[in-house]
Amino acid sequence: MLEQVIVFAIVLSFLITVILSPIFIPFLRRLKFGQSIREEGPKSHQKKSGTPTMGGIMILLSIVVTTVWMTQKFATLSVETYLLLFVTIGYGLLGFLDDFIKVVMKRNLGLTSKQKFIGQLIIALVFYIVYQRSGFSTALHIPGTDLSINLGFGYVLLLIFMLVGGSNAVNLTDGLDGLLAGTAAIAFGAYAVLAWNQGQYDISIFCVSVVGAVLGFLVFNAHPAKVFMGDTGSLALGGAIATVAILTKLELLLVIIGGVFVIETLSVIIQVISFKTTGKRVFRMSPLHHHYELLGWSEWRVVVTFWAVGLLFAMLGIYIEVWI
């Protein structure tokens, strides 16, 4: 029965996104909620200017509706479910504000880095307060072993780092048509398997709801994209994947399952450090996906390659936790 619930949740969230998109995309276009393309980016991206953004709203609606309905019907609306929805919606609203400032108020940079960080930090702290008062463990599990380390109060630092860092890492990955939608579907799919293996069916339902929602979005976001998810979607997905890792007590495994997000972030860090210390760039452009574009790879080739790498990371993460 539960296996059928998982399949139905994927199908339902997929259909919600697919049905909403043909209605929502023209609406965004009429409102002139078009993406601004930075001039220093690859020249091939300039033709994407004006493509409707903030499509992450459809993803969020699909995730929330599917998760709440399916969990109420077949499982329990647990504290974990409420925490997952809180972080996902919270980071989604923060991303929506950033997108709104960029698109409607015509401030290309949106929220400042400080404003965005404060918003991310507040959501992370509220999450920790509820998490701590609900009696969740502050132990850090070592993947592939029976070992764990109790971090005590230090766990709050890890939690904040994961939520803030995870949302930013996923946000950096959202740079090519279909790149984030595909890699997110793979990462959440892996955590759905692991949550199911632990008997955390409410978290598994949430994860497959995300998988269905982003795959439905991918129908319209694959190259050439008809809509972008914007920070509304990318920040929400980043916060959500970090929260899933925390609630399944597989925090360290996120580095592997979310390997593509980690690599993209490291490429930016390396580029900035190298340029500031030596005046030279390691990559032609960061994040890393742009480097391969400037090497002459087609956008679709870069995206499919990153999907494949993401799939390998996800399989490795499942193997370490389940079979080692």
Given a cut of 70, is residue 47 above it in pLDDT?
Answer: no
Overall average pLDDT of the 281-309 stretch? 95
pTM: 0.94
Q: What are residue 179's phi and psi, to 5 degrees?
A: -65, -55
Per-residue model confidence as pLDDT tens digits over 125-166 = 999 999 999 989 999 999 888 889 999 989 999 999 999 999
Q: Are 160 and 281 in contact (CB under 8 A)?
A: no
Overall average pLDDT of the 194-223 stretch? 96
Please, which pLDDT band fits residue 43 given cuts at 50, 70 and 90? Answer: low
Per-residue model confidence as pLDDT tens digits over 256-293 = 999 999 999 999 999 999 999 999 999 999 999 999 99
pLDDT score of 36: 59
Residue given tokens 């580095």 in the structure block? 255
pLDDT score of 1: 64
Per-residue model confidence as pLDDT tens digits over 76-134 = 779 999 999 999 999 999 999 999 888 877 666 678 889 999 999 999 999 999 999 99
Report the range of poorest mean pLDDT among 28-37, 247-256, 261-270.
28-37
pLDDT score of 111: 85
Given a cut of 60, is residue 44 above it in pLDDT?
Answer: no
pLDDT score of 110: 74
Residue 126: Cβ within 10 Å count:
14
